[in-house]
Amino acid sequence: QAHKDRRPPLLPPLASRLNSMRARSDLLPDGEAPADVLGLLARQARVRGLSLADLNYPQHLEGRTPAEVRRALVSAGLRAGAVALRFPEARFRQGVMAHFDSAVRDDAVSMAVKGCEWAQALNASDVVIWPQFDGFDYHFQADYVAMADRAADAYAVVADRCGDLGVRVSLEPKPTDEKSRFGLLGSTAAALRLVERVGRPNFGLTLDVGHMLLAGENPAQSAAETAAAGRLFGLHLNDAHVRLGAEDGLAFASIHADASLELVYWLQRSSFGDAGEHLYFDTFPLNEDPVAEAEANVEVLEALWDVAARLDDAGLAAAIGKHDALGAREALRRAKRVTMSMA
């Protein structure tokens, strides 16, 4: 009864992986793949339910002007959500912000600040940094303490310089990757410790469902704890079988349906989106029409959002308060029945 008058939480703005629009070029007229970022944006404009586009720097933006990209976004009916950094392997293969060579670290910082300049020019709120090459492959290869020290110092500089531009810096942790078998940030907790150590209000985390699964985490718990610390700046939605060496990037909630619903529930409880955060589908369609796959992700999320909004009325909050797993399962069944009856 206490929740009867509560307004349903609003679904945050949605974006989807732009490079997925390269898939299945045979479905396009004359089988031609989008030649550049402008073509990718034009194809993504066909996806119903998206309002934002996240762009990679330098991959999508180098050689372009902000005015040119802004025109393409307007033409596609989209706004810039974030700028995501993609560090060139030739320069950064042995590390990014934690590199042992200060000259390389300086280049990484400069590249991040350039990404923030692009974000400011496109009116995007965040720069997302995935430090793909900060890690190690072998025992006795790395000085873990020194790597963390160097990374913390570099991120503090990035956060300060980007803060002057009015841009937030969001770190995307990943525990393992083919480029770094052990990532410097092996868990959400490790990433949060680094964020707390840097201690800048515009420095937080973008969590990725597949990355959290790779770390053996429960995505809902990691998101809830990050949000409670005021550091959940973004979330990448996908799913994965999590077999060795495979992040998968499958359609959202296609494998871990209940875990995905719980994640959505905790996003609502954490008021995610109220400060302008958005959700991003980080999926990798290989054989599927990328437009249809992105639309399916939107529809699944909208359905889960509706179910999650009814869970407390169905008794979930009371069950959680008593640590009652069976009561929670019954609340899930009730909420799903109500949602289906209203469809």
Total of domains in the chain: 1
* 306, part of any domain: no
User: What confidence tens digit (pLDDT) does each residue in 174-196 have?
Assistant: 999 988 889 999 999 999 999 99
Residue 100 lies inside a defined structural domain of this protein: yes
CATH number for the domain spanning 126: value is 3.20.20.150
Residue 5 inside a domain? The answer is: no
Q: Is residue 120 part of a domain?
A: yes
CA distance 182 to 107: 23
pTM assigned to the model: 0.91
Q: Is residue 242 part of a domain?
A: yes
pLDDT tens digit sequence for 193-212: 999 999 999 999 999 999 99
Is the CB of residue 170 less than 8 Å from the CB of residue 194?
A: no
Rounded Cα–Cα distance for residues 199 and 2 (Å):
37
**Per-residue pLDDT band at 5 (split at 50, 70, 90):** low
The answer to whether residue 79 sits within a structural domain is yes
User: Is position 21 within any domain?
Assistant: yes
**CB-count burial class (<10 Å; 0-12, 13-18, 19+) for 215:** buried
Tell me the residue range of the domain where 76 lies. 14-290
pLDDT digits (tens, 9 = 90+) for 275-303: 999 999 999 998 899 999 999 999 999 99
